[in-house]
Chain A
């Protein structure tokens, strides 16, 4: 049992983070809690500190409108946090859709019949999608991704009522399970693309220690963004790609203590 906890320690921490953030939002709507009001698009921490999704804010700006000062401050706070500290940690530590796609990809691994096919898809599709979000926002005058984002549909649905939104969530789940491994988060999501770019130089990083590595490749087997681990078994180094979500799954699965989480400025 203790072993199970240790082997999933980062997974447990991530779920704790994701679920408690969600719980605070739901509690604010149902019971008037004042910790986190609103939702991931826009919220207030303790009824004072504004927090805004910077990607949504950029799309809003692309429509030719300027948000209020409060929203701009909120956007800057979130942006600076992930750009300096967390990297793309939003995706694995905050985003509720991550729990759905993680489930799909876990099932893909465990199901005996090797559920689904594995279509190849270019991981850069997400950057095109992010660019498109801006173009469409400018052309149509509405924040384009925010209107179709399954993240928002799920998150808002859990807080304010799901309606027919579950179909979009099931679609993402099946896409990951049956068509493309890590399909949505790893290939399509423009928000993930945004945080990949924003968090390129952030401090918290996974590092690989070659001397401990026995090349069992479990880390790459489990990594949702395998392309960020080219150094495994070859060299000791930090993960430099912004596409790493800092989910730390590689650390959980590594039995040789060859993966660590740390600060980029620290020694390897």
Chain B
């Protein structure tokens, strides 16, 4: 049998295909290792991003870790995560207890971001003259949360350190006066956070006098729950209007509601 023309090149082609296969195999192995490494890096849910940060998932995609936001911060409050910081490496974050956000009116960090990971247009509204301007009060770095068990104001000790330093005083943080039931004679002047105004700047967290801050900032999605559509605040007309458009079909399903009431009350022992 005579060899067909070009048969000398056959070993070359075989070699090429083998090389290609080997390369693809190595790439698959490398890719899996690489991907496993990256996946671990993504999970750090309590990280506090600069004002104007888009949703964490998108933020991680858009942030090129250039540090321009940190350099723009006049208070050097933004930290660039180093390996070992337990944050996605190279990305900016706050450590409120040490150095909180001072809520600059011109929001230099967000303006400095070249990629859109920080979007200053999220913090724009109109002033009294109808002009478009930046408004740091629209920032949502996080939400301040109070641990009432360690907050000494809730013990009845007069402390309003967090209230007084709050840049959005009397809106984001108020003091509520109640009778101190423990003594029957004294007042409790307790700080209360209001989520619609709190920017999560963390100034309160730094000011807190307890050994470990009793008011601290968490990302909004961690600090807050979410009630279902059909729960209504009693005797509140506005809240009743809220459910007028909710469809008839709405049904809240939780692990507990899937069982009948009798079942979980009588047999489950709570």
On A, residues with C-beta under 8 Å from B are 28-29, 37-39, 41-44, 50, 52-53, 56-57, 60, 63-68, 70-71, 74, 122, 124-125, 128-129, 131-132, 135-136, 139-144, 146-148, 152-153, 156-157, 159-165, 167-168
Contact = CB atoms under 8 A, between A and B. Distances in A.
Looking at chain B's contact residues, is the secondary structure mostly helix, strand, loop, or mixed?
Answer: helix
Interface in B82-104: 82-85, 88-90
Nearest to B90: A156
B35 interface: yes
Closest 9 CB pairs of A and B: A163-B82, A42-B66, A164-B84, A160-B80, A63-B61, A38-B66, A164-B83, A68-B116, A41-B64
B1 to A, nearest CB: 36
A38 B65 CA distance: 9
Contact of B83 (A29, A74, A141, A163): A163
Contacts of B88: 147
A42 B34 contact: no
A123 to B, nearest CB: 12
B84 to A, nearest CB: 3
B27 interface: yes
Given A67-B116, A132-B34, A160-B70, A165 B83 contact: yes
A39 B67 contact: yes
B32 to A, nearest CB: 10
Contacts of B66: 38-39, 41-43
A71 B41 contact: no
Contacts of B165: none
A38 B115 contact: no
B64 A140 contact: no
A42 B113 CA distance: 9
Contacts of B80: 156, 160-161
Interface string B47-70: 000000000011011101111101
Question: Which one of A44, A153, A159, A160 has the greatest number of beta carbons of chain B within 10 Å?
Answer: A160
A165 B80 CA distance: 13
A111 to B, nearest CB: 29
B114 A131 contact: no
A135 B24 CA distance: 13
30 contacts: A37-B68, A38-B66, A38-B114, A41-B66, A42-B64, A42-B115, A50-B114, A60-B61, A60-B115, A65-B61, A66-B116, A68-B113, A74-B114, A132-B31, A136-B35, A136-B38, A143-B61, A144-B35, A148-B34, A148-B37, A152-B65, A153-B89, A156-B67, A157-B82, A159-B67, A163-B85, A165-B82, A165-B84, A165-B89, A168-B83
Contacts of A37: 68, 71
A56 B39 CA distance: 18
A50 B121 CA distance: 20
B23 to A, nearest CB: 6
A74 B64 CA distance: 13
B30 interface: yes
Interface string B134-169: 000000000000000000000000000000000000
Contacts of A74: 114
A42 to B, nearest CB: 3
Contacts of A38: 66-68, 71, 114
Given A38-B66, A41-B65, A160-B82, A132 B27 contact: yes
Given A131-B27, A148-B37, 12 more contacts: A38-B67, A43-B66, A65-B58, A68-B114, A128-B30, A132-B34, A140-B35, A140-B39, A143-B61, A143-B64, A153-B83, A163-B82
Nearest to B119: A68
Contacts of B179: none
Contact of A136 (B23, B34, B65): B34
Contacts of A65: 58, 61-62
Interface string B15-50: 000000001001100110011011101100000000
Nearest to B30: A132
A70 B82 CA distance: 26
Contacts of B116: 66-68, 71
Contacts of B67: 29, 38-39, 156, 159-160
